[in-house]
Amino acid sequence: MKNFLLLPIVISMILVSCSSAQKATEVNATRVSVAPYIKMNCQELATEMNDLVRAAEAAGAQVDSEYRSDKNAELAAWILFAPAAFWISGNQEETAKLASIKGQLEAVQEAQKINSCVR
């Protein structure tokens, strides 16, 4: 009986640990040089910031969508055919794009501070 109670816990741990997919909130920014943004005036920086925020929101939604899809596929693979779970790719491409956008956002914010732009 004791082993029967441990089985769901072990299966849950295996399911959670297989996929490398990340949520958008777990993605860290990739460092981007502030140099290209320092040459911009405050209005250009504000426009760039707005564009990047929209791009980050879209990329974040894509990352989260891929995350959910990956987790669902992982669950189905473990239930139907456990070895297939090892072929789940994750969402590295989407997270890399989001990390880059987050880095650009940080660079624009830094340029705004350097250029004394009021935000």
**Is 0.85 surpassed by the pTM of this model?**
no
Domain residues for the domain of 54 are: 31-114
Does some domain include residue 18? no
Cα(90)–Cα(22) distance, integer angstroms: 8
Q: What gap in Å lies between CA 61 and CA 44, rounded to an integer?
A: 26
Residue 67 lies in a domain: yes
Q: Determine the 3-state secondary structure of 20 from DSSP.
A: coil
Per-residue confidence in pLDDT tens, the chain, 119 aa: 555 555 555 555 454 455 567 777 788 888 989 999 999 999 999 999 999 999 999 998 988 888 887 777 777 666 666 665 555 666 678 888 989 999 999 999 999 999 999 65
Residue 15: inside a domain: no
Does the residue 75 lie in any domain?
yes
Provide the number of structural domains found in the chain: 1
